[in-house]
Structure 1
Amino acid sequence: MKRIIKKVAVLGSGVMGSRIACHFAGVGLQVLLLDIAPTTLTDAETAKGLTTDHPAVKNRIVNEALAAAIKSNPSPVYTKEAVKKIKTGNFTDNLKDIGSCDWVIEVVVERLDIKQQIFTEVEKYRKPGTLITSNTSGIPIHLMAEGRSEDFKKHFCGTHFFNPPRYLRLLEIIPTPDTDPAVTDFLLHYGDLYLGKTTVLCKDTPAFIANRIGVYGIMAIFGLVEKMGLTIDEIDALTGPIIGRPKSATFRTADVVGIDTLVKVAKGVHDNCPDDEAKNTFTIPAWLDKMVENKWLGDKTGQGFFKKTKGGGGEKEILVLNLKTMEYEARKKPKFASVEAAKPIDDLKTRLKAVCTGMDKAGDFYRHFHYGLFSYISHRIPEISNEIYRVDDAMMAGFGWEIGAFESWDVLGVEGTVNKMQEAGYAAAPWVQEMLAAGIKTFYKVENGQKLYYDIPSKSYTPLPGGEAFIVMKNFENQTVWKNSSCRTYHLGDDVIGLEWYTKMGSIGGEVLEGIQKSIALAENNYKGLVIANEGANFSAGANVGMIFMLAIEQEYDELDMAIRLFQNTMMRARYSGVPVVVAPHALSLGGACELSLHADKVCPAAETYIGLVELGVGLIPGGGGTKEFALRAADEMHEDEPETITLKNRFLTIATAKVATSAAEAFDLGILRKGHDEVILNQGRRIAEAKKSVLEIYDSGYITPVQRTDVKVLGRSALGALYAGINGMWRAGYATDHDVVVAKKLAWVMCGGDLSEQSAVSEQYLLDLEREAFLSLCGEKKTLERIQSVLKGGKPVRN
């Protein structure tokens, strides 16, 4: 049966329900969001003479919840327009409307009796064959379906989103024994392709996969705090980005999630998993019970392990809880010799090995933590999952780990670690010992660009599902066709090559530019086209401003001029190559990365791509062809129905205000992506495969190298005056500093084609020359150098 989802009903508009509704609307679906009707009036409603039967009163709860979600930061939707797809209502009047929905998802309070009451009502109105799922995080899925019809049970399972649903990529799918396997398969595929999720099949066990392992990890760390005498600040310094975990590390994560939620999950595992060999790890420490008793529950109550206060001078200060005295005190920045030595190591796997061999307190912590984690995950197979990769997928997508637990075990060496675990009193599950005895030494391996995992029942390696749909560049390492110290170019198969770079923050310097140029040349000579992407946390934060600053401060203007020319020439090389060049950005894609996207034949960004030309913030203008390209696109968009300066002004303001799209969808509105041309990929893991597919489609359709433009319409003096007037207006109103005015006028000069007496047709090279001259002149400005220095030192430009 072919199943199409057009309309979704979300029952329950709390924090999760309202944001799940927003995510469904964000991907383009019609959404019906329902909640209970209030039984009492507010003072304002009473003053207006309303009754509980009034529609505004009946929908107050759901409307207020949705309004709060929409106002939340970060936004739960890709564009504000998406909210229009959500229709609100209440259970009393509108539950009957679920009959027109293709999927009903329940997100009410975590009580089995209430959920069962809701499902009794749902069954009266849902049409046969409609998907019905629950977003519960703790109640056994099969219990909720008791007493329901055969059709209900057949189409019912758990779909556990993580909060916030737009940003956390995990979607756990939990079938019951009665769930039709076709329904399970559909949800796994639909969540991946249309909701952009890493969908993970889970068994109906307490806390499913991610929370079971994640909360174990947190509780194990709580135990090590007491055992090793570590502080909160020390733990969060040890368990954050240094080992590939989020900045929120352990205790900050607990504050965000809610300490009561953490305790509830831990108690749930402790009470409902009698055969869990690490059951005692889930025992709640006395100090944690005390925090719950004091209502120190984290961000939701204003204090937890951390507490925000104001210092004597009125400045914000964050205090940390001393677990021995249960009093808040000033934070201390901890230092461990092994961690300090590992910090300069960019490669996570190399860094992980380094910290785990440290001979100080940090090294001891890492060994105990990883030994316990490895023991625990090995014993959870097959209890919570039959496949090891599902555990890793869940932890990476749900808890933001850069590499999974089994993959970390591979990094540290399975055989050697198992021996050390035994010496330290930690036992690996028998299947791990059997695997090693059979001569299999790793959980994963890569063959011909495809990642394989060790399948326990067959005692052999099996390809990860997805195959061609999930291309990972580094898996093609043995098919490297060129490299330097910052880049690699791989043969991705089908006569398509792929370029990735792995500089800090994905910065674009000389070696990356060399990589782009070399890869295009290779593609032109031997292949059908080129994909440019990478696997970093961010695609790229832009050009290497450190290099620009160094050349500018030394007044090496000839060198600087050559560097800018190289950047411009590389972008134009991408635009006018003899083969298709497709860029697949994700996350931060700023400055030079945005300019590269502007010059590609096609862009296949992940939905979560934050892209923009931000150079004005550091006192510069886009100098790698970005200013030229915006002037060119403005010229092409001008039409007779409106003043020509309107289009130019809008393009100018996008750069002048350093606007960054908060999603790939928003990048279309900013004119960075092209409607009907570029393609947003909802699942970030699919973007490289889709980019490769696009290269082949463009090539096979008869790709012809474009010809450089010599007909770009610029408005000259007439538009320049209007833009200058606008800039001065911003300055007078206090929105722009003196230096902002200097930079903005340089930008206006380039985008208008200079001080031409009349409208003219100019070449792209003419605009590139103006752009480069303006960029160079700004590099000689003291205040620009101050801004760049501020970014290099503290990450933010000074407003001077």
Structure 2
Amino acid sequence: MTSSSASAVTGSARTLRRVAVCGAGVMGAQIAAHCVNAGIPVVLFDLPAREGPKSGIAIRAIANLRKMNPAPLGTPDLAELIEPANYEDNLDRLADCDLVIEAIAERLDWKQDLYRKIGPALNPHAIIASNTSGLSITSLADVLPEALRPRFCGVHFFNPPRYMSLVELIPTKYTQPELLDTLETFLVSQLGKGVVRAKDTPNFIGNRIGVFGILSVFEQANRFSLTYEQVDELTGTRLGRAKSGTYRTADVVGLDTLAHVIRTMQDQLPDDSFKAHFGLPPEVQGLIDAGALGQKTGAGFFRKKGREIQRFDAQQRDYVAADQKIDPDVAAILAVRDPAERLRQLRESDKPQAQFVWAVLRDTFHYSAIHLQDIADNARQLDLALKWGFGHKQGPFEIWQAAGWRQVAEWINQDIQDGKTLSSQALPDWATRGPVWEAQGVHTAAGSWNPSQSRFEGRSELAVYQRHIGTPLLVGEVDALETRTVFEDESVRCWTLPAPHPQDVLIVSFKTKMHTLSPGVVTGVFKAVELAEASYQALVIAQDGDPFSAGADLKAILPLFEKEGVAAVEPVERAMQDMVLRIRYAQVPVVAAVAGLALGGGCELAVHCAHRVAHFESYIGLVEVGVGLVPGAGGLAYSARRSAELQAMGAPDAPLLAYLKRFALAIASAQVSRSALDARQLGFLKESDTIVMNRQELVFVAVRQAQALASAGWRAPLPRRFPVAGRDGIATLKAQLVNMKEGGFISEYDFHIAEKVVTVICGGDVDPGSLVDEAWMMAQERQAFLELLNTPKTQERITGMLTTGKPVRN
């Protein structure tokens, strides 16, 4: 690889080293939280407090971050890294900041006053961005001092910032193009965001289309007389959208927040042909007037009374028991796999619920097509905004194209003629003739449709996107990255990347559901290690999508046990232990690229690798207790050995149990990390392991990390014995388990399993400090695992998990 090509592939934003967030409200504080999640120093500003410490408003906002759910911080202690500040005493702190994000209330005069206040204190090269969701970015730029305008743009995070991928980047006519590139690179690589560039129009892309979709749902639900819970069931996962559907999502967002966005559309889109439907239903306004704003007030469209979920009944003006049953015939239509057939059946059905679903989809297709040119550069930006900002599995144009572009366009036109649509405006010409009509869609191998330029436009050529490997494709797109398959069977695929990426690193991916460790996968991993040792410099274990691995394939193990008993399972268990040791002692470095769940055997696989590259949103843990088992693929052996290593590296007189305790209690309670940072604290990731913020950079970084280890002369560790806590450790840990049982934190059978965990992790009934090897520990694990498998209550737990997907407490 030449130096120029290396720079093109690895380029990233290193100039934005420190961030200031102005406004310590809900969004501002959470944006600050996500910056420290990424290891970026941040100063959080707000007005000076009238009482107590001058920075009291920011101090209280930071403290509140620890209590929020879902957690905005990877670990609660990160709150200490956010520096509180106020505009009266601390403006000098702005001189150190390369990016200043304004996130105060949506008042033009307040924002203008803030810009005047902070302007003289800003670093002369700093980027200034507003997180406004409703005000015109150009209007904001017009009130800025002229010298600041080229460095100003909109940067609209979606709530909650840690979990929602979408950030809309909105330039003004003044904004320097290179500034946008720098900021986009920073947002993508350093904060892990999915960035779309939006035009400066009301509500930009995501909220413009997404909130219109909500208004369409409100309108069509009334037309077809559907209840809130029926609508949520129809517009949730069955439709490829967020599980919460429409009304529950509105409750989570806040009805007042939703009303604000809708008012923006009413006030700022006077010429929109759909404007007649830009209004809140009277019952929604009534809820807002009554202070029932959704989840934050405890009641909205729904409320929880005891264990019962109730919905608001507009006619009775009170809450009634919710019943989410939908028509089984409509449920069957929504389960049809072929998208063209599914939409045809929805449109032709005489069932009101089917007609409702078709109407909601048609309205969004119609609105998106009419306004694409106004709000986005191309169709890809619009589809990604809905996927990243609203949790839709597919964007509206994807759904339309997958179902047959020409046929759906004809259906929409027919509905317009029949007066069924929310607007009589015709589809734009580009949707019904010309290149899109001929290509039968807006997404093609050449790119996505740009109606302003009347051409298909390729993806962004920013260097940061060359780091993205395995990016999910939109319907109609073609992956330009041509990987080479080295070996493939029904369980695994071994492959390499093309130039300019390293080609001397082998990658193995699992093909099982949830990437479970089936016997075939175990065999495939052995094969991958052999291939890597023979012909490559290193091996990476990486999956095509999340999760990394949900653990052992219980569906494969249970029938073996039922047919032949414990004796049939023992070889399977031993093979998994042999697999992780084969990885640990491989003659090339093995790197795990972890994202999403890495549970049970998935965790055991990862911890035995030479190095781990983990996405920030990695949830790692040994959870076998939940199915009545102990970790059986080296998890307890690893925990015992790692504790001894930490003791040797730490204070010489610190007891081994001090290090072992965190592993033992985490495993006994089936604790799963809340982030990759939390996994470090639990001990499942090391301080030396790499954490990346963008999921799509995982393979890129893992391959280069593996190559770097090999280039540095990596050698496998030598097997050696290590001390264990023995019977004294068992007694101490059991005493803590007794307290957990008596406190009601674990059941009697949980206690029984946990006893097995602490017995094995302490090395069994041996003297404290006894030296053992991995073979000894693995044998202890197998014995405990097989004994529990032979227990009726464990069998109940496994059967329950396989049947319902939920743990059984017996």
Alignment of 1:755 onto 2:765:
yes
Deviations 1:503-525 (A, max 9, x none): 55444434443544444455455
User: Higher mean Cα deviation, 415-424 or 657-666?
Assistant: 415-424
The equivalent residue for 1:690 is 701
Closer, same or farther in 2 for the Cα pair 1:342/1:656, shift >3 Å?
farther
The equivalent residue for 1:128 is 124
> Partners of 1:109 and 1:762 in 2: how far apart?
62
Alignment of 1:245 onto 2:270:
no
How far has the Cα of 1:538 moved from its partner? 3.6
Closer, same or farther in 2 for the Cα pair 1:68/1:721, shift >3 Å?
closer
Deviations 1:231-273 (A, max 9, x none): 2122111111223211111111111111122122123223312
The equivalent residue for 1:560 is 569
Alignment of 1:280 onto 2:276:
yes
Taking structure 2 as the reference length, what is the TM-score of the superposition? 0.87
The equivalent residue for 1:25 is 36
Secondary structure of the 2:414 match is helix
User: Higher mean Cα deviation, 689-698 or 173-182?
Assistant: 689-698
> Partners of 1:353 and 1:503 in 2: how far apart?
28
The one-letter amino acid of 1:206's match is: P
> Partners of 2:229 and 2:747 in 1: how far apart?
39
2:373 and 2:450 in contact (8 A); partners too: no
> Partners of 2:731 and 2:280 in 1: how far apart?
69
> Partners of 1:783 and 1:100 in 2: how far apart?
60
Alignment of 1:656 onto 2:632:
no
> Partners of 2:239 and 2:60 in 1: how far apart?
40
The equivalent residue for 2:355 is 364
The equivalent residue for 1:45 is none
Closer, same or farther in 2 for the Cα pair 1:741/1:304, shift >3 Å?
closer
Secondary structure of the 1:167 match is coil
How far has the Cα of 1:325 moved from its partner? 4.8
The equivalent residue for 1:44 is none
The one-letter amino acid of 1:296's match is: A
The equivalent residue for 1:627 is 636
Closer, same or farther in 2 for the Cα pair 1:328/1:715, shift >3 Å?
closer
> Partners of 1:18 and 1:115 in 2: how far apart?
17
Structure 2 stretches lacking a partner, 5+ long: 1-11, 473-478
How far has the Cα of 1:606 moved from its partner? 0.9
Alignment of 1:177 onto 2:177:
no
2:447 and 2:456 in contact (8 A); partners too: no
The equivalent residue for 2:618 is 609
Alignment of 1:709 onto 2:712:
no
The equivalent residue for 2:89 is 93
Secondary structure of the 1:606 match is strand
Partner residue of 1:572 out of 569, 574, 581: 581
Identity %: 35
> Partners of 1:579 and 1:422 in 2: how far apart?
61
> Partners of 1:167 and 1:437 in 2: how far apart?
34
How far has the Cα of 1:319 moved from its partner? 0.6
User: Higher mean Cα deviation, 580-589 or 728-737?
Assistant: 728-737
2:430 and 2:436 in contact (8 A); partners too: no
1:415 and 1:436 in contact (8 A); partners too: no
Closer, same or farther in 2 for the Cα pair 1:490/1:328, shift >3 Å?
farther
How far has the Cα of 1:111 moved from its partner? 0.9
Deviations 1:556-602 (A, max 9, x none): 21222233223323333433445443322222222121112112232
After TM superposition, list the pairs within 5 Å mapping 1:199-598 onto structure 2.
199-310=195-306, 316-323=307-314, 325-337=316-328, 340-341=331-332, 350=337, 352=339, 355-358=342-345, 360=349, 361=351, 362-425=353-416, 427-436=426-435, 439-445=438-444, 452-456=447-451, 457=453, 459-460=455-456, 462-465=458-461, 466-472=464-470, 475=479, 483=488, 488-493=493-498, 494-495=502-503, 496-501=505-510, 503-524=512-533, 528-536=537-545, 538-552=547-561, 556-598=565-607
Deviations 1:590-647 (A, max 9, x none): 2121112112232221111111111123321111221121122122223333123322
Deviations 1:396-415 (A, max 9, x none): 22112223333323322223
Partner residue of 1:6 out of 5, 11, 17: 17
Secondary structure of the 1:382 match is helix
Partner residue of 1:668 out of 680, 686, 709: 680
Deviations 1:402-433 (A, max 9, x none): 23333323322223322332233375432233
User: Higher mean Cα deviation, 78-87 or 132-141?
Assistant: 78-87
The one-letter amino acid of 1:492's match is: L
The number of residues matched between the two structures is 770
Closer, same or farther in 2 for the Cα pair 1:462/1:8, shift >3 Å?
closer
> Partners of 2:523 and 2:101 in 1: how far apart?
51
> Partners of 2:356 and 2:530 in 1: how far apart?
49
Taking structure 1 as the reference length, what is the TM-score of the superposition? 0.88
Closer, same or farther in 2 for the Cα pair 1:467/1:4, shift >3 Å?
closer
Secondary structure of the 1:439 match is helix
Deviations 1:704-757 (A, max 9, x none): 5x3662434434445444444444454456554432332223223322333235
How far has the Cα of 1:527 moved from its partner? 5.1
1:133 and 1:157 in contact (8 A); partners too: yes
The one-letter amino acid of 2:155's match is: T
> Partners of 1:241 and 1:484 in 2: how far apart?
32
How far has the Cα of 1:691 moved from its partner? 2.1
The equivalent residue for 1:782 is 792
The equivalent residue for 2:183 is 187
User: Higher mean Cα deviation, 183-192 or 351-360?
Assistant: 351-360
How far has the Cα of 1:526 moved from its partner? 5.4
The one-letter amino acid of 1:137's match is: S
How far has the Cα of 1:65 moved from its partner? 2.5
> Partners of 2:693 and 2:674 in 1: how far apart?
14
2:170 and 2:198 in contact (8 A); partners too: yes
1:9 and 1:33 in contact (8 A); partners too: yes
Closer, same or farther in 2 for the Cα pair 1:497/1:340, shift >3 Å?
farther
The one-letter amino acid of 1:747's match is: V
Closer, same or farther in 2 for the Cα pair 1:690/1:430, shift >3 Å?
farther
How far has the Cα of 1:76 moved from its partner? 1.6
> Partners of 2:294 and 2:184 in 1: how far apart?
33
> Partners of 2:222 and 2:662 in 1: how far apart?
59
2:741 and 2:748 in contact (8 A); partners too: yes
Secondary structure of the 1:585 match is strand
Secondary structure of the 1:623 match is coil
1:243 and 1:352 in contact (8 A); partners too: no
> Partners of 1:437 and 1:89 in 2: how far apart?
53
The one-letter amino acid of 1:594's match is: C
Give the CA RMSD over aligned residues: 3.0
Secondary structure of the 2:90 match is helix
The equivalent residue for 1:42 is none
Alignment of 1:738 onto 2:752:
no
Structure 1 stretches lacking a partner, 5+ long: 40-51, 311-315
1:157 and 1:176 in contact (8 A); partners too: yes
